[in-house]
Amino acid sequence: MADLRQWAHEQRFALWVVAGFIVVNLLWWMWFAIQHEKLPYASLTTNLGDFDFAKLLPSLFLTRSLFQLVVEAILMLIVLCLAEPIMGGARTTLICVLSAVGGVFVGLFVCAGASWLFGSSPDVFHIGFTLSPVTLVIGALMAATCFAHRLWRQRIRIVGYAAILVVLLYGGNPGDYCTLAAAIIGQIIGRVIAGKPTQSDQWHWQHASSYEARRILGAIGIVLALGPLVASTSRSHAGPLTSMALLMSPESMNMGKLAECMRGMTVHGCYAQYALARASMPGDILRSVLPIVVMLIIAIGLYKGRRSAAWFNIVFYGLNALLTLCYYVFVPFNTHSQHIPLTAIWTFAVNTAVPAVFAILVAANLRYFSIHTNERNLRLGTAIIIIAFLACSAFYMAATWFMRAQFDPEPTFTAILSEWPSRFIPVGFLTQTKLVFVATTPMAALLYQGVGIVFWIVLVIVAIIWLHSSLDQDAKTRAHAEKLVEHGGESMSFMTTWEGNDYWFSPTGRSAVAYHELNGVALTTTGPFGDPDEWMADLDDFSRFANEHAWSPCFYAIHEQAKDHLGKLGWHSLLVGEEMVIDPQAWKTTGKKWQDIRTAINKAKKTGIVDYMGTYEEFPHEIQEQFVEISEQWSQGKALPEMKFTLGGVEELKDPRVQVLYALDADGVVQGVTSWLPTWRDGRVIGWTLDFMRHRTDSPNGIMEFLIARMAQRMHDQGVEDPDNQIEFVSLSAAPLAGLDSSADATSDDSSNISGTVMLQHSLALVANMLEPAYGFKSLYNFKKKFQPIAKPVYLSYPDPAKLANIGIAILRAYLPNLTARQVIGMLGSFKEDKK
């Protein structure tokens, strides 16, 4: 609630403007409702032939329906909420006014030029248009991009201009030229005020051209996919790409005239009847929707860097351009048209050029799509598509021939063959082609409309399979990673050998990074390991690798040096904990601060508790069973499943490289157990890190203090006996998500991201609070302070503030991969009881 109040205060200008917009419209509606009159929608529309500015201007503020009011209000709120925090309320207001006035003037000037150029066409002369309320605010958004870092600037501009262009090209409302002009003018004003971008705002390696190229091409693909839907719902239907839309018309089909047209008895108005007949067939409409689904799948594949999606895109849009070319070249001959108007030439050029240029763009940038699909799945999918097309075609021709009496007029084989391509082509390509015959029975209609649907459904399924099918990881990967860990690593590097990690290897193969791909985030398990000389370069290279796979890189539990390196490259960091490190060579328990530790050691001696150290397999079976028993006893008291990621369990305890230290009482009962993960340098163990730490519910107080103290003492004694192989550190690790209490603790590398850092800090703090009753991270954090350790900060570093929510969810999923809805309810219940 505090965050919400703060947000409302920071966005007060946006909230007041949107609230005023809503109130004005509600009052307008109420006025006519009180007068028992219909809303004068006609007063909000004008046209190029009979232009009336007095009718056009109110459409900047007034809407036609509740749905439009909701959509426009949401868009205005989003735009202003993005712009106001960057530029402030006063500057945002000024730019809104200037860009809106300039945009309307320039847009109307363009419309006047179009009216003069195409004035002889009655279709252009009578195009009705209105203005959009978004025109009032879009300039402020584009101006704000000039003050933002380039990552956000690029994204907002791509999405903003793509949205404007799709509405303009497919919808055709001339008023959208005003919106486009307002956006451009706003961007110019913003550039004048902000000045030239600073050097620190230039592209860094983590936003390489391949990453942004995929984003741009994916955005274009989504625009082209959603465009037909925009065109279908447009009031103007005057965009250059409108002809490829689904057919929607208030007119009804005239069956008598349709029959006369198909028998050649008349030619006047026949193509309108053909179009209406096709639009009345549910199967043909569905056949036009399925290609949109395919286009969306291709766009998602491009965004994710799939090579198969890129090739699919080239073929799909290349055929689209070829089909469009044939449509506009051969149809005029079929209609015996002697005059081709200028508008038709423009429409032909745009409809052919758009898919062709997009296919060429993807082909030119094919090198950026580096994720290969499993070759077997590619071959199988291609074979299925070809077989499905041939089978559907053969079935259509054979079945139609045998059922020809159920069509009108009864088709010849030549007629069946001429109608065959139209069974697979979307309706938008058939509006100016002759309808040869129609079905007269339900079975014939199912055949006539269904064969194309079956083929497109197969194409959709294959496209989805290709999108989710990638190359299998080499079985030797894990073995290679484990060898690198033994060559060199940091205190928590051994955790990278656990199950669930994927691996990226440096070009030399001498170092690696372990990661989890979750929620679109490449979440690392601490930093690089292997050859220390490559670690800083690995940070760069792994981030490129993640970007190439359309993942957002996020380094989790890294130390100061790695954090500083990433910070110099524009990354943001968040302190997520402190690793507690003991120097065994300086170990001592004298002084007042060590009173608790000395008490625990003395108590253990008096009660006959001794410690034993070795690997899991070295201990007797009954001792191993007690380890499992203690772990199960500990887990049964939790509302959540056992955590993973940087927290090991019994399975990790069994690794022969892990040292287990446990406390055994005089009766042979294991009272507590700890595990210690090795850290190597050049093949020699230089440190041990605490991982597994559990005890019985009835174990004597101080048992864990005793075990940790004994580990430190053992390493101290080992260093005295063998100075050449002494242990450099004993790490108590870091309690996950501990120390996230106050938003004041959230810091950013620069002032531009403090809000985002606070958001992520709050998200992780909420997760930590919910997990605290079950796992006691904060109490564990305070427990480790008893050993007077050296605190080394542990950070989370990320480059993309847009992925904050994804990062929070990824971390939760990494720690609790098997979390169920029932366990979430139990977690919330324990959190509530703890608060009481």
Written as six digits, the tokens of 573 are 């960091």
**What residues contact residue 758 under an 8 Å CB cut-off, 6+ apart?**
743, 746
Residue 201 has pLDDT above 70, yes or no: no
Question: Tell me, which fold does domain 582-731 have in CATH?
Answer: Aminopeptidase (3.40.630)
Residue 836 has pLDDT above 80, yes or no: no
> What would the pLDDT profile of 152-186 be if each residue is shown by its tens digit?
777 788 778 878 887 787 776 778 889 999 999 99
- Gap between the Cα atoms of 673 and 660, Å rounded: 7
Highest mean pLDDT among 418-422, 470-474, 530-534, 796-800: 530-534
Phi-psi region of 645 (alpha: psi -120 to 50; beta: other; left: phi over 0): left
Question: What's the predicted TM-score (pTM) here?
Answer: 0.61
Check residues 527 and 250 and name the one with the higher pLDDT: 527
- Gap between the Cα atoms of 677 and 667, Å rounded: 29
Inter-residue contact 114 to 173 (CB < 8 Å): no
Predicted local confidence at residue 246, as pLDDT: 42
Q: For residue 223, count CB atoms less than 10 angstroms from its CB and return exposed for 0-12, middle for 13-18, buried for 19 or more.
A: buried
Instruction: Please confirm whether the linkage preceding 409 is cis (ω < 30° from 0).
Output: yes
What share of the chain in percent tops pLDDT 70? Answer: 73
> What would the pLDDT profile of 465-524 be if each residue is shown by its tens digit?
887 765 444 557 888 999 999 999 999 999 999 888 899 999 999 999 999 998 889 999
Written as six digits, the tokens of 466 are 């290709």
Looking at domain 1-207+226-231, its CATH architecture is Up-down Bundle (1.20)
Inter-residue contact 576 to 792 (CB < 8 Å): no
Residue 588 has pLDDT above 80, yes or no: yes
Give the three-state DSSP class for 732: coil
Altogether, the residues listed in the chain come to a count of: 836
**pLDDT (mean) for 50-69:** 78
- Gap between the Cα atoms of 820 and 407, Å rounded: 56
Predicted local confidence at residue 758, as pLDDT: 60
**pLDDT (mean) for 215-224:** 80
Which of 78-82, 97-101, 180-184, 703-707 is predicted with the least confidence, judged by mean pLDDT?
A: 78-82
> What would the pLDDT profile of 528-552 be if each residue is shown by its tens digit?
999 999 999 999 999 988 887 878 8
**What residues contact residue 612 under an 8 Å CB cut-off, 6+ apart?**
619, 661, 662, 664
Give the three-state DSSP class for 692: strand
**From the centroid of its chain, how far is CA 770?**
26
Predicted local confidence at residue 224, as pLDDT: 78
To the nearest 10°, report the CA torsion of 620, 625, 630, 636.
170
- Gap between the Cα atoms of 500 and 10, Å rounded: 42
Give the ranges where 365-507 is alpha helix by DSSP (H): 375-402, 413-419, 442-468, 477-487
Predicted local confidence at residue 40, as pLDDT: 65
**Sheet strands (E) in 27-176:** 46-47, 128-129
**From the centroid of its chain, how far is CA 220?**
16
* Domain residue ranges of the chain, discontinuous segments joined by +: 1-207+226-231, 375-468, 582-731
Residue 645 has pLDDT above 90, yes or no: no
Inter-residue contact 103 to 140 (CB < 8 Å): no
**Tell me, what DSSP letter sits at residue 371?**
B
Inter-residue contact 783 to 775 (CB < 8 Å): no
Predicted local confidence at residue 535, as pLDDT: 94
**From the centroid of its chain, how far is CA 92?**
29
Between helix 307-334 and helix 442-468 the angle, nearest 10°, is 150
**pLDDT (mean) for 610-637:** 85
- Mean residue pLDDT of the chain comes to 78
Of the candidates 804, 523, 766, the residue with the CA atom closest to the CA atom of residue 644:
523
Residue 605 has pLDDT above 80, yes or no: yes
Written as six digits, the tokens of 643 are 């955590």
Highest mean pLDDT among 171-175, 416-420, 689-693: 689-693
> What would the pLDDT profile of 249-299 be if each residue is shown by its tens digit?
333 444 555 565 665 655 555 655 555 555 556 666 777 778 888 888 888
Inter-residue contact 160 to 139 (CB < 8 Å): no
Q: For residue 575, count CB atoms less than 10 angstroms from its CB and return exposed for 0-12, middle for 13-18, buried for 19 or more.
A: middle
Check residues 104 and 375 and name the one with the higher pLDDT: 104
